[in-house]
Structure formats: structure tokens, C-alpha cells
């Protein structure tokens, strides 16, 4: 059952938006900002909880590491975010845009920075959008959006897939194949 669900999840991920093929020029590090919540615009739509965001960020990080990307330590990135007055579990005060993320990446000495938002459309329907930019130039290196349905297990699998697909692009490997779904 989990294998079937994982296949459906990957189909949803790859059908959303392809990664941009632009490997990092250096073998440097990536600062991964904790994921931030995103509003749906729907009345009474639930936001991801701070625990959801922490767990999803950890799974995304695992995908980057699994894909061979060196990632800056979480405490260093979290301190740099907080030092700039941002709180990643806040809708209004999160650092989830290129310019802000680029400044955080620069502060921790990373070559690239990944940032993103999580949307919780309903109790079991989620979407994550992650972008990676070059800290020096601000150029977008990769981006991927994935949607999935399920609980914590499926969400974790989804974030790992997003992270590993982005890592493939950043390390110069062929991008994950786009799955057109069922």
C-alpha cells in the first residue's frame, strides 16, 4: 500500500513543475532555510503547524543530503534567520523570498540557498514549493513544486523526493524525470 502511495506521490511531484537544470559551478554548500507557511487564500484554511514545518524541513534536508549536497548546519542557518528578525513559522515574518534568503546564505558562507513555503489546502492535502538561488549572483539554480495527499509518512516521503530531485540538478546529474501521472 505504501509503495502504491509513494508512486502516486512521486507522480504528483513530478507533474507539478520541473526543476531548472543549472548545476552549481562550485562544489560548495547549500544553506537550507526552514520551510515557511503559505496562505491558501481560502477562508478558515489550516496553516502548517510549527511542528509540521520543522519535520518537513528535516525531510527536505535529508533529501538534499541523500542527493550528495553539503548542507550548512541547521543551528547556523536558524541563527542567521533570527538575527535578521525573521521567524520561519510565521506567515508575516518569514524569510521565504529570494533577496532575504540570499542575505541569509551570504551570512552563513554558503554558495547557494534553498527556501520555500508549505501550503496546507485541507487536512490531508499539502503543497511545497522550493527554490534554490546562487548566493553570489542571485540567479535561480533550481525550483520544484510538489503536491501530495496524506499524513506525516507521505509528507515525509514527499519532502525527501523534492530534496533529492533538487540535489540531482545542483550536482549536475540528470533531473528527475517528469511523470505525467496516471
Domains of the chain, first to last:
2-170 (3.40.50.10610)
CB 70 within 8 A of CB 153: no
Provide the pLDDT for residue 161: 92
Give the whole-angstrom CA distance, residue 25 versus residue 28. 8
pLDDT for the residue 19: 47
pLDDT at 24: 52
Closest C-alpha among 56, 64, 107 to residue 86: 107
Supply the pLDDT for residue 179.
57
Tell me if 157 sits within 8 A of 9, measured CB to CB. yes
pLDDT value at position 91? Answer: 82
Phi first, then psi, for residue 77 (nearest 5°) are -70, -45
Predicted pLDDT at 111: 96
Distance between alpha carbon 69 and the CA centroid of its chain, in Å? Answer: 14
**Residue-wise pLDDT tens digits, 119-148:** 888 778 888 999 999 999 999 999 999 888
- The angle at the Cα of 18, spanning 12 to 21, to the nearest 5 degrees, equals 150
Q: pLDDT at position 153, please?
A: 79
Residues of the chain with pLDDT under 50: 1-21, 25-26, 181-182
Contact (CB, 8 A) for 115 and 37: no
Amino acid at each position: 500500500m505504501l509503495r502504491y502511495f509513494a508512486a502516486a506521490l512521486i507522480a504528483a511531484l513530478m507533474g507539478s513543475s520541473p526543476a531548472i537544470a543549472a548545476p552549481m559551478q562550485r562544489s560548495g554548500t547549500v544553506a537550507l532555510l526552514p520551510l515557511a507557511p503559505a496562505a491558501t487564500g481560502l477562508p478558515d484554511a489550516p496553516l502548517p503547524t510549527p511542528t509540521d514545518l520543522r519535520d518537513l524541513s528535516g525531510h527536505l534536508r535529508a533529501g538534499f543530503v541523500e542527493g550528495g549536497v553539503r548542507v550548512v548546519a541547521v543551528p547556523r542557518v536558524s541563527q542567521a534567520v533570527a538575527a535578521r528578525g525573521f521567524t520561519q513559522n510565521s506567515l508575516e515574518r518569514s524569510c521565504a523570498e529570494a533577496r532575504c534568503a540570499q542575505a541569509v546564505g551570504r551570512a552563513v558562507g554558503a554558495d547557494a540557498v534553498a527556501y520555500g513555503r508549505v501550503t496546507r489546502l485541507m487536512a490531508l492535502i499539502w503543497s511545497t514549493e522550493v527554490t534554490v538561488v546562487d548566493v553570489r549572483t542571485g540567479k535561480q539554480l533550481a525550483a520544484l513544486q510538489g503536491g501530495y495527499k496524506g499524513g506525516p509518512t507521505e509528507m515525509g516521503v514527499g519532502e525527501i523526493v523534492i530534496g533529492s530531485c533538487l540535489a540531482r540538478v545542483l550536482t549536475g546529474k540528470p533531473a528527475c524525470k517528469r511523470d505525467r501521472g496516471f
